[in-house]
Structure 1
């Protein structure tokens, strides 16, 4: 308050009105300036660690990181610094599309990890991935010809099901003129299975 009023009325007069010694006021101001500089420096370090965590670190993790770097920062102070810096912890939500962890044995594993293929249209591989669009997921299926590692079919959908994979396989068959005897290989996830084209 003295600092604000001091610009209009002078520091000496304000100190006299508030019954504060000028030397005491200036000593307090120096301490505040030093404290603010240290806090600002600590905030910069905290922001660096938060960015390194891709925005997922919270006050507990950040206080541990800062302590590991030699700073005396508890969880509550880390939370206060986060608030001042305008950063929040953002945890990634688990995705509902998960593997059961159990290998499906629907088809015999004929490829045996021999991904070098000597001719076109002998082995095609397929897989599904997902892309987050806002609050929804878009599923993308792709079919590769292992001879040249070229995409020969693809499709996308809001649902990961057999239709998604069938569409990408249908595109590959049409694009390549309906070849016979192609081994279609996948990781045997539920919508994608391994079989040989008749």
Structure 2
């Protein structure tokens, strides 16, 4: 008998080039999940400060644990207003792509398999190979590097 359960995914997306900079998977949609995704993003980006993080109004993002982490990292939070689907469109597009292009129809056997496969998609295929119409048909990692080569910033 196959056991069915839900997995929850939290992603931090850099809107400049639509690049995934942090993510976490859990069997619970709690504050710990979004804090892990934020920690991953903060580390991946070299521990920046004075960053604006936009989120929806989910209880995880309004939790004391998440807000304290934002304070520690010197990030400012912006929450989209209730019912404003346009602000969250890039994230919803990413989730649609993940589900339609990558996740097996029968799902995953267990959490470790899901974490590995989803990580391969987000940090590998999605960032480095998948063309994005927002970026003129190039992958987000390439689009992010393009302005640096044009401006001379390295």
Greater RCO (Cα-Cα under 8 Å, separation 6 or more) = 2
Structure 1 or 2, whichever has the larger Rg, is 1
* Same fold, TM-score > 0.5, yes or no: no
TM-score (norm 1): 0.31
